[in-house]
Amino acid sequence: MEPLMALAIGLLYATAIFMMLRRSIVKLVIGLLLLSNGANLLIFTTAGMTRGAPPLIPEGMMQPLGDVADPLPQAVVLTAIVIAFGVLAFAVVLIRRAYEIVKADDLDKMKDTDT
């Protein structure tokens, strides 16, 4: 499974970077979104992928049954998902605001500090 995921993550990164290199600001946002998902999957995958063994402890027991998936990367990714959303919301509003003021959707036209 992991090699397949590795390929998919590589693709996510490639698409994300391609979009971030565009001059259109909306494409930049899409690139940001793709990149954060790629990074989340990267962390998730590098810890190893386990089927059907969530890190839960059954009622009345002190240890989980058998080997479970590594909980640490899951916790890290969980944090990352939420943060990525916060960043995205901020970026979207920022870009909208910039567009309103500069009236340009071309990043190259936003290179001056004065508008």
Partner 1 sequence: MQFAVLMGFVLAASSPLLNRWFGERTSLLLALFPALIAGWLLSQAPLVFSEGPQLLEWEWVPSLGISLTFLLDGLSLLFGLLITVIGTCVLIYAGGYLKGHHDIARFHLALVAFMASMLGLVLADGLLTLFIFWELTSITSYLLIGFNHTDIEARKSARQGLFVTVAGGLALMAGLVLLGVASGSWSLYEILQSDDDLRQHALYTPLLICLLLGAFTKSAQFPFHFWLPNAMAAPTPVSAYLHSATMVKAGIYLLARLQPELGGTGMWVTVLSVVGATTMLTGAFLAIHHTNIKKLLAYSTIMALGTLTMLLGIGSDYAMTAFVTFLLAHSMYKGALFMVAGILDHETGTKDVTAMGGLRSVMPVTAVIAFIAALSLSGMPPLFGFIGKELMLEAALGAERVQLLLVLFAFLAAILTIAVAAVIALRPFYGARHETPKTPHEAPLSMLIGPGLLAFGSLALGLAPAMLGADAMLTSAATAVSGGALPVSLSLWYGVNVALIMSVVSLILGFLLFKRWDSVRGQLARLAPVMRYGPEAGYEGLMNGIVRFSEWQTRLLQNGYMRNYILVMLVVLIALIGNSILLRHSPQLALTLDVRFHEVIVVATMAMGALFATISRSRLGAVVSVGIMGFSIALIFILFSAPDLGITQLLVETMTVILLVLVLFRLPRFSNLSTNLERIRDGSVAATMGVLIFLLIMTAWSIDQFETISTYMVENSAPLAHGRNIVNVILVDYRALDTLGEMFVLALAAIGVIAMLKLRHGETEGKAVDGEKASVKEPYDG
Q: Which of residues 45-64 bind partner 1 (CB under 8 A)?
A: 45-46, 48-59, 61-64
66 binds partner 1 (CB under 8 A): no
Q: Smallest gap, in angstroms, from Cβ of residue 88 to partner 1?
A: 6
How many residues of this chain bind partner 1 (CB under 8 A)?
A: 89
Site string for partner 1, 81-100 (x = CB under 8 A): xxxxxxxxxx-xxxxxx-xx
8 binds partner 1 (CB under 8 A): yes
Q: Smallest gap, in angstroms, from Cβ of residue 1 to partner 1?
A: 5
- The answer to whether the beta carbons of residues 55 and 49 sit under 8 Å apart is no
Instruction: Tell me how many degrees the CA angle 88-91-94 measures, rounded to the nearest 5.
Output: 150
Cβ neighbours of residue 95 under 8 Å, at least 6 residues apart?
A: 25, 26, 28, 29
What's the chain's Rg over C-alpha atoms?
Answer: 20
Q: Which DSSP state fits 109? A: G
Q: What is the SS3 assignment for 24?
A: strand
Exactly one of 66, 74, 114, 115 binds partner 1 (CB under 8 A); that residue is: 74
Q: Which parts of 22-41 interact with partner 1 (CB under 8 A)? A: 22-27, 29-30, 33-34, 37-38, 40-41
